[in-house]
Amino acid sequence: MTTTAPIIDTSNTLPRRFSLFALGGSVAISLSVFILAGFTSEDGIPNFFGVGVLAFIFYMVISFIASRAVEGRRKAADRMVTGWVTAAFTLALVPLTSLIWTVFSNGLNRMDITFFTNSMRNVLGEGGGAYHAIIGTLELTGIATAIALPLGILTAIYLVEYGRGRLKNAVTFFIDVMTGIPSIVAGLFAFSLFLILFGPASAINGMAGAVSLAVLMTPVVTRATEEMLKIVPNELREASYALGVPKYLTILKVVIPTALAGIATGVIIAIARVIGETAPLLLAAGFTTSVNFNPLEEKMMTLPVFVYTSYAIQGTDAQSYVDRAWAGALTLMLIVMVLNLIARIISRIFSPKF
């Protein structure tokens, strides 16, 4: 019996460490190009992002030529795609890292007790805080959740358990449409509604902001709940019916508890999404420097709007305004991250195990 040639011909491949060496070489060349050409800041430090981009181009050229010569056209194309895909991923991490780094390093300047216990009333320069904005954010998000939660979950129950025919299709479709409502449109809607309900003098109040948030939140809650109800096995429902349990009790005592962890996760992610909404609150809830506990009267400050107005409407001593904007951004991001973390933990611990 003659031996057949091996399927993978190792004589025609580049060494395994080739990519590593090519990358190292490209970075070295690119770095020296930047330094020799003088594309550096005043203290001689080259622009690292630029170095990275140029190194990537060098790497692609080097590995294409080498691979084309040794391995052939097909493998060369494969290497190009691997390079592009890895670069796309690395590139996506750059803004994320930069963003988290700047928010933390700038935000920590003003993460002091004053920031969390003082409002901006009568503050013109340094000091002051976001107490009024934190109160507003907690209240408005709470009210929005109180509106969106029952509405969203009941709609999902309708879609999965009861709905049929044209109405079901229409609701499914318009939930999708509602997901795509630009947040500022929700704000305009709440403003227009409250202009008619409360009159022009007091149209802008906390409640209007909460309504606009609820409009944005409901479809997200519905979608998440719907997905969770769909994966509850039908056997559970049928077993319950077989025992003579009425349908509404089956839903309340069997279906919902099974899907509860998933629903809770979805709700928390929905809260995390609306808690950072700025535009609708800017229009519907307005902005103020004072503490206001009453959502039905007067304007109400919220954390995202605090970040925006601190930057956009700077007073004398501009730096202290910018510092407060960063501190507000950091607070907001910490809240969002903690909410996401809680959602992940809930879904990991309580997810139904079938």
Tokens representing 38? 């003088």
Q: How far is the CB of 111 from other proteins (least distance, A)?
A: 15
Identify which of 19, 36, 106, 121 has the alpha carbon closest to the alpha carbon of residue 71.
19
Q: Does 10 bind other proteins (CB under 8 A)?
A: no
Q: 193 exposed, middle or buried (CB, 10 Å; 0-12, 13-18, 19+)?
A: middle
Which residue in 14, 185, 236, 260 binds other proteins (CB under 8 A)? 185
Query: Residues 6 or more apart from 194 whose CB is under 8 A from it?
Result: 203, 204, 205, 207, 208, 211, 284
Residue with smaller CB distance to other proteins, 3 or 235: 235
Residue with smaller CB distance to other proteins, 26 or 222: 222
Distance (Å, whole) CA 257 – CA 352: 10
The amino acid present at 9, given as its one-letter code, is D
Stretch binding other proteins (CB under 8 A), from 12-20, 56-64, 135-143, 329-337: 329-337
Tokens representing 64? 């294409």
Site for other proteins in 106-145 (CB under 8 A): none
Q: How far is the CB of 294 from other proteins (least distance, A)?
A: 21
Distance (Å, whole) CA 249 – CA 197: 38
Q: How far is the CB of 345 from other proteins (least distance, A)?
A: 13
Q: Does 323 bind other proteins (CB under 8 A)?
A: no
Three-state SS at 40? strand
Site for other proteins in 39-58 (CB under 8 A): 47, 49-50
Pattern of binders to other proteins over 235-264, x per CB under 8 A?
Answer: --xx--x----xxxx-xx------------
Q: Does 86 bind other proteins (CB under 8 A)?
A: yes
Q: Does 210 bind other proteins (CB under 8 A)?
A: no
Site for other proteins in 151-170 (CB under 8 A): 151, 154-155, 157-163, 167-168, 170
The amino acid present at 336, given as its one-letter code, is V
Contact predicate 130/110, CB 8 Å: no
Site for other proteins in 56-85 (CB under 8 A): 74-75, 77-78, 80-82, 84-85
**Half-sphere exposure for 262 (CA within 13 Å, toward CB):** 20
- Cα 209 from chain centroid (whole Å): 20
**Cβ count within 10 A of residue 33:** 16
Identify which of 145, 149, 125, 119 has the alpha carbon closest to the alpha carbon of residue 299.
119
Q: How far is the CB of 296 from other proteins (least distance, A)?
A: 19
Identify which of 274, 279, 273, 272 has the alpha carbon closest to the alpha carbon of residue 309.
279
Cα Rg of the chain (Å, integer): 28
Q: How far is the CB of 30 from other proteins (least distance, A)?
A: 16
Q: Does 92 bind other proteins (CB under 8 A)?
A: yes
Residue with smaller CB distance to other proteins, 1 or 81: 81
Which residue in 176, 297, 319, 351 binds other proteins (CB under 8 A)? 176
Residue with smaller CB distance to other proteins, 1 or 88: 88
Q: How far is the CB of 24 from other proteins (least distance, A)?
A: 21
CA-based torsion, 200, 193, 268, 340: positive or negative: negative
> Phi and psi at residue 142, in whole multiples of 5°?
-60, -50
Distance (Å, whole) CA 325 – CA 329: 6
Q: Does 173 bind other proteins (CB under 8 A)?
A: yes
Which residue in 24, 125, 150, 257 binds other proteins (CB under 8 A)? 150
Residue with smaller CB distance to other proteins, 95 or 199: 95
Residue with smaller CB distance to other proteins, 30 or 155: 155
Pattern of binders to other proteins over 190-209, x per CB under 8 A?
Answer: -xxx-xx-------------
Pattern of binders to other proteins over 272-301, x per CB under 8 A?
Answer: xx-xxxxx--xx--xx--------------
Tokens representing 62? 């080097």
